[in-house]
Amino acid sequence: MDAEVLAELKSYLDKEIAEMTYKIEILKKIREIIEKELKAVSFKTAAEVMETDKQAKEERVIPLLSKDGGVLAEIYVRKDMLRIVPSAGIDFSYNSPPIASFLIGKVLASMVEEDRRLLEESKISEEERLKYEVNVSGDALKEIVVFNYRDQRRLNRIREAAKWAFQKAYEQERSK
């Protein structure tokens, strides 16, 4: 190879190296920005991590069993809230009468009404008032979240009502 070809190859390589070095610097800057954003949204103090761990330990699970022994749903219970989550693989319609009319329309709604009266009488604060959310995807019930159920009596009432409602909805779905 002659000197001219070698010089061209060297020039080409220098140009490519410079271009790739520039691209690497840009990629490093993008990575830094992403790392800063990740730290901002995901950083937890030691106290927050300990609180999360404490809450996870305080959460207990109550399975709602069908008459044939299968798990229809699970209730995840914490001190101030509970979540009723249907079992994977079983689709419960939000509009199913046992769920919509009984569990939500009668049991939870009556607790909300009871708390409204207690709030008016200044026996409880707004923060203590029972509230609930129903999360659905289309017609499928994903979870029912109940905030401020407050005592064991109410937890038992919700658990028994949910067990009955999910069992009836399951039976209705199977008979179709």
Exposure of 168 by Cβ count < 10 A (0-12 exposed, 13-18 middle, 19+ buried)? middle
pLDDT at 149: 93
pLDDT at 1: 77
pLDDT at 46: 57
pLDDT tens figures, 24-66: 988 888 888 888 877 777 665 556 656 665 655 678 999 999 9
**pLDDT, one tens digit for every residue, the chain (176 residues):** 788 888 888 899 899 998 998 889 888 888 888 888 777 776 655 566 566 656 556 789 999 999 888 999 999 999 889 999 999 888 899 999 999 999 999 999 999 999 999 999 999 999 999 999 999 999 899 999 999 999 999 999 999 999 999 999 999 888 87
Tell me the C-alpha distance between 112 and 155, whole Å: 14
CB of 65 closer than 8 Å to CB of 72: yes
pLDDT at 6: 86
Domain locations along the chain: 3-43, 60-174
In order, the DSSP letters of 162-176 are: HHHHHHHHHHHHHT-
pLDDT at 48: 62
pLDDT at 76: 96
